[in-house]
Chain A
């Protein structure tokens, strides 16, 4: 993913901690789309995903001087993004309770309107919707692995769990998707 002449993430973090703006900019531009895609899968809201992507990098900057150079920047980055997503989903849930909206749990726009029903014909959209129905940790593990390309070990680091834990989360996520998509997607 990174060219051999480009500085690695750890180096950029060290330079960021020393106050080098160009290093931080490179880091943001290297990872922002992956973080935003991850948050989009988690939150299903473009605006919120963009907002939390910004927040993620602001936290990265704020904690740069405490970053430990261990070659695990990606896991750390997605841990921050994942924690922010979890907080946002919790807040949504609380707001939905306050507003007496029992239909809204952790998915902002899951009510199938007429347009959405048409979109359900699209397999990709059906998968996105099914993903949104998964329990949050299962979704996070599956998205980190299948969409962001993290290994089980990196996911375990990022989600502060064990390898068998990740394996189990992904297993259950796949089973949940299969159930959710049964009959909706060709070939599922």
Chain B
């Protein structure tokens, strides 16, 4: 015989289908252990209902509307709601932020690499130095390539600083 203890809360909550409910009640008639457990849980269920009613009574009569309204107005007047309620504005701002992040993460490392100085040197010495694709910075031998370019140009003594 399969016990139905696990189904007691669903039965109390009226969440069993008609067929399940019929089977459940049929089992209770035959099984004293399950019937006793069902009685105990029903008492607890009723007690919970009483607690719920007491809590509702505790909060009745108090309205949060004035505070909610005041807080919304305060945030609206102060440019709140993340610069507006429009999802378009929020999306545009989010996209802009992501784009800025990409710029900082991808473009800026290239501009910090001393490229402007290299260009100045190239102009002086007549060397052809092409822009290095960003992906090459990620290649394992990128540092080696840079060092090779550096020494081959006989400019290492200049320090590349000016």
Q: A: which residues have CB within 8 A of B? A: 21, 25, 28-29, 32-34, 36-37, 40-41, 46, 49-50, 53-54, 57-58, 61-62, 64-66, 123-124, 127-128, 131, 142, 145-147, 151-152, 167, 170-171, 173-174, 177-178, 181, 185, 187-188
By the criterion CB–CB under 8 Å, are B56 and A33 in contact? yes
Instruction: Indicate if the CB atoms of B15 and A65 lie closer than 8 Å.
Output: no
Q: Find the A residue at minimum CB distance from B70.
A: A54
Bound Cα distance A49, B59 (Å)? 10
Binds A, one of B25-33, B37-45, B119-127: B37-45
B interface vs A, CB < 8 Å? 6, 8-10, 13, 15, 40-41, 43-45, 47-52, 54-56, 58-60, 62-65, 67-69, 71-72, 75, 81, 85-87
Query: Least Cβ distance of A147 to chain B in Å?
Result: 4
* One of A34, A124, A128, A187 near B43 (C-beta < 8 A): A187
B63-A32 in contact (CB<8A): yes
CB distance A188 to B64 under 8 Å? no
| Inter-chain contacts of B59 with A (CB < 8 A) | 33, 36-37, 40, 49
Residues of chain A with a CB closer than 8 A to B85's CB: 62, 64-65
Are A178 and B65 in touch, CB under 8 angstroms?
Answer: no
Interface of B is mostly: helix
Nearest to B82 among chain A residues (CB) is A62
Judging by beta carbons under 8 Å apart, are B71 and A146 in contact? no
Distance in angstroms between the alpha carbons of A61 and B72 in the assembled complex: 8
Contact partners of B54 in chain A: CB under 8 A: 124
Given contacts A147-B55, A173-B9, could you give 20 more A-B pairs where the C-beta distance is less than 8 Å?
Answer: A25-B65, A25-B69, A32-B64, A36-B62, A37-B56, A49-B59, A50-B64, A57-B64, A57-B68, A62-B81, A124-B51, A127-B47, A128-B51, A151-B15, A167-B15, A178-B41, A178-B44, A187-B43, A188-B43, A188-B44
A174/B51 in contact, CB under 8 A? no
A187→B6 CA distance, assembly (Å)? 20
